Chains A and B, each alone.
Chain A
């Protein structure tokens, strides 16, 4: 008897160690807190340092963390993101972490924490439900983690709710009755299995009253600390093996249609496209895979690889759907698009390219005395200015220091510098050489810029001293 008892006790303790599911909520909560971290980092620009905070989930035993896409502004050059630190919830002191880049398909940002911290973390895969477990349903109980702010050492806390709706947006997303986790943090079911990852919350409309306005004006508010929406684990788990290959998330599959707009329901029905979503191409970019495949502006994308676009609510989800279908590919892959052009359906076979250099990847240089930062002219600059993408001359002004010489001359941000001292600017390096000469020559009294702004140009005289 005694030995049997011991044996039973032993088995139970093993079970507790590896499958702590279905135990008390506080116990499960205490364990699953080990799968999350808080991250903070600094965005450095010419004249300011901005601190941001985000929450992430450990995805392996090496200390790889994923943060939701909204955690980092994707327009910012990754080189300007500095001093990443990771914090174990509830601990005051963080340790250095490294930014690895963004995965273009999931939008997740990847962070590597220190080896020491990695040993303290449990990967989210620990909590994945075995195959055959019942899928999440309406009214199911779910719970998740929230983290307080840095002043409170990111203390973890518990949130609970029930499923109110499950929708394709286009990813399967559950919305709980109230906030259930911090954005980027995991959500679990009653047995402690991982059921999803909280996304950014949705805007809610409130009425704002004041003494002056007693009728109330509508105000949309988004809770940035807690969210009621989460991506279902079935969307998350298959992507956990993805890793950005580099800090810029390259390669980036690209087809080169500008301004995708979902077809509105009534227009769709007018065009006989009632049972599906479809997407209008506003412009086809010069020299892009779409252009080479024969896509035209105002084409309506109705099917991808011969599969009709599903019907989404709201309409604009269809844009995300098409973009994700492209981003899951690699440059060189072929994607077939069926477009409606006038009354005709046309099959286009598009060989995807690698997206041309993005503005965030453009080279930059700050000239403190002159008071400006210039950046390399990239493809998107040509698109924005309706200029040929082949004319890659000049540089773009990305920053103006107030009361500086260039500010006084009337130069503005986003001006396109085409000539410096009457000589054309052939490349970024050329601009840097010319501006460096002006910056370092303390006897120089002035220099002259020819800039383009809209469809006009202007000659600006920059007085030094």
Chain B
């Protein structure tokens, strides 16, 4: 193999994560294993957001020398499933550990049939190299949610490869023969053979830059759910490769407020023509909106029926629907706050309340009949406007256990239940 490839091997790490898990009705810790690639001399490591998230409390990196070093999360982006870590460089220096770092290749130059290698820790098998080809340079997935409910997708397409990808490969690099990182391995299909997917390096480069600068990715959104125009051009009297379909508009979003409607055709953004004929083309269009600073006024040229019109829309910050999580151990109850986006997506009038994500058997919440998925809207008749309202009642209960009244919504039916000491 090339010298570059051998250097790359020394930059691939195994990542062991201990993270908080609220789902059992209490604050617990569980462990998982993933892969990563060192990007710089100062110990930056790129991995997947589903490997290391803000829930991680302890991250241990195993270097190619088999030495373990601690690392911290610099920032994450669940939309592209990428997370950036930094090695504990004091420890590295103190112990005089060494490592090499990889560099990015240009993922836009890849072609179907291009030979690639995946390096990682499948099923905990450290530094495993598998070989394959690029099967598709821009595979498209509809927007999805990961195991924790976080949105993923929308802003990028995926590299598809037949190099063997297994659980634990996540976060490891997909490289060309010269050892350049062209993708970050993200997922495979369980039960399928040789269907692996990676985030293209060109997407990763931009994410890394922003995470380094801001610790997070700030994206703009207008609240449009796009659709491919494929085969609908005749119906809308459009030339091919013109415009993108507005499939849905989130209620109360900037687009909805400005009067954009489902069934409109978006022809231009700031007078620049767009082409959303195929699903594969849509992530780039959404990304062009996402990259605008939040609060930018965009002129969207819309075709509705035979009429063309320019509609000004001010972008807002793209947020996840997943709210903050917390566990209330005395009650055996863990919850997630209703976020602005969750309220919007579920047609709720306000953001009050918390969603139950776990109950511990035999604890007061379980005894009261509370189940995951229920929504608690009030506690001792106080409306839950924040997690602190719950925390306040929980602290009081922990200090001096007294019957506590909860108002619980199950499938739009409200019950009043008592948490008993």
Contacts and interface: CB of A to CB of B under 8 A. Distances in A.
A106 interface: no
B227 A459 contact: yes
B30 interface: no
Interface string B252-275: 000000000011000000000000
A271 B416 contact: yes
Given A422-B305, A455-B344, A455-B347, A461 B414 contact: no
A261 to B, nearest CB: 5
Contacts of A298: 377-378, 407, 414
A194 B148 CA distance: 62
A398 B409 CA distance: 28
A271 B418 CA distance: 10
Interface string B2-25: 000000000000000000000000
B413 A459 contact: no
Contacts of A419: 263
A459 B245 contact: yes
A350 interface: no
Interface string A270-296: 110000000011110000000000000
Interface in B377-421: 377-378, 381, 403, 405, 407, 409, 412-418, 420
A233 B346 CA distance: 48
Given A458-B247, A459-B262, A282 B409 contact: yes
A217 B238 CA distance: 61
A148 B344 CA distance: 55
A247 interface: no
Interface in B45-103: none
Contacts of B418: 264, 266-267, 270
Given A258-B412, A266-B418, A271-B416, A456 B248 contact: yes
B338 interface: no
B206 interface: no
Interface in B311-356: 344-347
Interface in B223-237: 225, 227, 231-232, 235-236
A317 B398 CA distance: 35
Interface string A409-425: 00000000011011000
A448 interface: yes
A342 to B, nearest CB: 6
A450 B262 contact: yes
B251 interface: yes
A386 B347 CA distance: 7
Contacts of A457: 247-249, 262-263
Contact of A282 (B236, B249, B305, B413): B413
A462 to B, nearest CB: 11
Nearest to A450: B263
Contact of B414 (A261, A385, A422, A458): A261
A259 interface: yes
B250 interface: yes
A461 B263 contact: no
A264 B417 contact: yes
A418 B248 CA distance: 12
B413 A259 contact: yes
B263 A259 contact: no
B231 A459 contact: no
A398 B412 CA distance: 23
Interface in A406-465: 418-419, 421-422, 446, 448, 450, 455-459, 461
A280 B347 CA distance: 22
Contacts of A386: 347
Contacts of B305: 422
Contacts of B416: 263-264, 267, 270-271, 280, 300
Contacts of B231: 461
A280 B405 contact: no
Nearest to B403: A270
Interface string B153-175: 00000000000000000000000
A134 B15 CA distance: 82
Nearest to A268: B416
B235 A461 contact: yes
B342 to A, nearest CB: 11
Interface string A242-278: 0000000000000000110101101100110000000
A261 B413 contact: yes
A280 B231 CA distance: 51
A297 interface: yes
7 A-B pairs closest in CB distance: A457-B262, A267-B416, A282-B414, A386-B347, A266-B418, A259-B413, A457-B248
Interface of A: 258-259, 261, 263-264, 266-267, 270-271, 280-283, 297-298, 300, 342, 385-386, 418-419, 421-422, 446, 448, 450, 455-459, 461
Given A261-B413, A422-B236, A461-B235, 16 more contacts: A258-B412, A259-B413, A263-B415, A264-B416, A264-B417, A264-B418, A266-B417, A280-B414, A282-B412, A283-B414, A300-B416, A386-B347, A422-B305, A455-B344, A457-B249, A458-B248
6 contacts: A267-B418, A270-B416, A271-B405, A282-B412, A458-B227, A459-B263
